[in-house]
Structure formats: structure tokens, C-alpha cells
């Protein structure tokens, strides 16, 4: 531009600006075209066909043990009970001593225990939850305690070294054995339907009096659980005044209920993970 004659510079400058604007316009148009093509390609690649059937993943179902526990908890929660849980590795105090099992008491032989090297043990029942709950809660108390338990049983068609148990506990002023019997009758009828129930005298260290509970099932009496009024020594151990409060407790094995409800002939089937068995549920 500097070598041009002064009269030519305006015309050449105008032409240069036109060329510059044309080139910039072409660049912008090219950039827009490329961006549009990129977006269209991405939309094609990521298009979701909402009418296409999804990939089928078969869903699992509740194991008979799980479904039985859920059914029991639904019943007792409906009766106003609170679900409570406790540790499976337990102190002797909570598993035995506070439940009125003295060190030399022969009732300890009823529960062949897995003792651990550190002096603790694997709980033999969920009764430990009762003591732990009462220690930190004032009456009235109404709890249902599900959990896994351990005993050195010989494994056969009706026994397992690891099993599940559910216990209930109610403590309040004026509770009687009649309240216990009525509660159990309502519960058992919810589980098994309209059914005949009877109680037989028995013995448990932590209840007095104690009883075994039978139901008339398919024409014969079937033992399903144990129960009784909470022993005054147990109430004293947690700081409750047995002159003011009374209570009742009951417990049963979940596997036994599941076997009765589903007509299972061998407890080991519940732990074998055999799909031919599990698919029935």
C-alpha cells in the first residue's frame, strides 16, 4: 500500500477490506458447518430408542429365613413392639450371668457354647439383647429381637450349629401370664391361621414360671417356642424393681417356623444354596 500512488490507495484499501471480510465470512461459515455436523453425528451416536426392550436381569427373591423373619417382625411391630438387636460376640455376663445362669448352674449345659480365646463367646440365644436393652431403657419395654445364634450342636435334619432366633420381651406394671398367653395366641394365629394353642410347664433359668408352647398342626401337637414370666433376678440385674414391674418373654427358632410353614423336611436345605430348592420360593 505504501508504494501505491496516493490516488489509488482508497480504491485498493476498499478492495482489500472486501477480500478480508469475504475470507472471514467463509471461515465462520465453515466453522458453523463443522460444528453442526459434529452435533448431528453425536446425536446419531447417542440416540436412545425408548421403544427398545431393556436388558433383562432376573431379580432375586427373599430366602425362606428372611421372609419368615420379616413376617414375624411385621406382626410384632403391628402390636407395638420395637425391633432391637445386639452383638453376636458376647460377654458371659450378658449371655448367661445377667439371665440368671450362675457359673455352676446345670442349665448352662443345655446350651453347648462356642467359647472364644479372649474369654468372650458366640451368643447362644438373642436373650442378650433383652439385658442390653433394659440396661439403657426404662419401663415400659416391648421389644422383638431377631438375630443369628451359635451352639455346638451336631448338624442333622433338625439341628444346625448356626441358626436364627427371635425373642420378645415386655416389661410393665401389672403384666401377667394371661397377657403372655394372649399375645402368643394372637401371634401364632397370624402365622398359622386359626389354630389350637396349648402351654406346658417347662424350665428356663430366666423365666419363672416357664412353659413350652405347642400348636395343633396337621392333626398333631407341635412344639414351636418357649416362654415365661421374667424371673425377678433378671429384673434386679438391670435395675428394675420386681416389686413394681413384671414382664414376660418368649423365643423360637426361625428355621423351625420356616420348615413348618413351607413343609421343609431338612434344615440343611435352608443353607445348601441349591437353586432347585430356592426357586420354589
Question: Coil, strand or helix: which one is 76?
Answer: helix
Same domain? 130 vs 189: yes
Residue 265 lies in a domain: yes
Q: Report the C-alpha gap between 185 and 196 in whole angstroms.
A: 9
Confidence of residue 268 (pLDDT cuts 50, 70, 90): very high
Nearest C-alpha neighbor of 253 from the set 235, 226, 272: 226
Same domain? 225 vs 190: yes
Same domain? 163 vs 265: yes
pLDDT for residue 107: 65
pLDDT for residue 264: 93
Q: Report the C-alpha gap between 275 and 61 in whole angstroms.
A: 12
237 alpha-carbon distance from chain centroid? 29
Residue 124 lies in a domain: yes
Q: How many domains are there within the chain?
A: 2
Residue 223 lies in a domain: yes
Residue 92 lies in a domain: yes
Section 72-99 average pLDDT: 96
Same domain? 33 vs 83: no
Report pTM. Answer: 0.77
Same domain? 116 vs 1: no
Confidence of residue 12 (pLDDT cuts 50, 70, 90): confident
> The domain containing residue 13 runs over which residues?
1-51
Confidence of residue 18 (pLDDT cuts 50, 70, 90): confident
pLDDT for residue 111: 64
Q: Report the C-alpha gap between 155 and 149 in whole angstroms.
A: 14
Q: Is 215 exposed, middle or buried (0-12, 13-18, 19+ CB in 10 A)?
A: buried
pLDDT for residue 112: 83
Same domain? 235 vs 147: yes
Residue 58 lies in a domain: no
Amino acid at each position: 500500500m505504501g508504494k501505491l500512488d496516493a490516488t489509488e490507495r482508497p480504491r485498493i484499501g476498499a478492495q482489500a477490506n472486501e477480500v478480508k471480510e469475504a475470507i472471514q465470512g467463509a471461515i465462520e461459515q465453515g466453522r458453523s458447518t463443522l460444528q453442526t455436523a459434529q452435533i448431528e453425528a453425536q446425536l446419531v451416536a447417542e440416540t436412545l430408542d425408548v421403544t427398545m426392550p431393556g436388558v433383562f436381569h432376573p431379580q432375586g427373591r427373599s430366602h425362606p429365613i428372611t421372609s419368615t423373619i420379616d413376617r414375624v417382625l411385621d406382626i410384632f411391630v403391628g402390636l407395638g413392639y420395637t425391633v432391637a438387636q445386639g452383638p453376636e460376640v458376647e460377654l458371659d455376663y450378658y449371655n448367661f450371668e445377667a439371665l440368671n445362669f450362675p457359673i455352676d448352674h446345670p442349665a448352662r449345659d443345655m446350651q453347648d457354647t462356642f467359647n472364644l480365646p479372649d474369654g468372650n463367646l458366640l451368643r447362644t440365644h438373642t436373650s442378650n439383647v433383652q439385658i442390653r436393652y433394659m440396661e439403657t431403657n426404662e419401663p415400659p419395654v416391648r421389644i422383638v429381637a431377631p438375630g443369628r445364634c451359635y451352639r455346638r450342636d451336631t448338624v442333622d435334619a433338625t439341628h444346625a450349629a448356626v441358626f436364627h432366633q427371635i425373642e420378645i420381651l415386655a416389661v410393665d406394671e401389672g403384666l401377667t401370664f394371661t397377657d403372655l398367653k394372649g399375645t402368643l395366641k394372637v401371634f401364632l394365629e397370624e402365622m398359622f391361621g386359626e389354630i389350637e394353642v396349648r402351654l406346658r410347664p417347662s424350665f428356663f433359668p430366666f423365666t419363672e414360671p416357664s412353659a413350652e408352647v405347642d400348636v395343633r398342626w396337621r392333626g398333631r401337637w407341635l412344639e414351636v417356642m418357649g416362654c415365661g414370666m421374667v424371673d425377678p433376678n433378671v429384673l434386679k440385674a438391670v435395675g428394675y424393681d420386681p416389686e413394681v414391674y413384671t414382664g414376660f418373654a418368649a423365643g423360637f427358632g426361625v428355621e423351625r417356623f420356616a420348615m413348618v410353614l413351607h413343609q421343609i423336611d431338612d434344615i440343611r436345605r435352608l443353607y445348601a444354596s441349591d437353586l432347585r430348592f430356592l426357586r420354589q420360593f
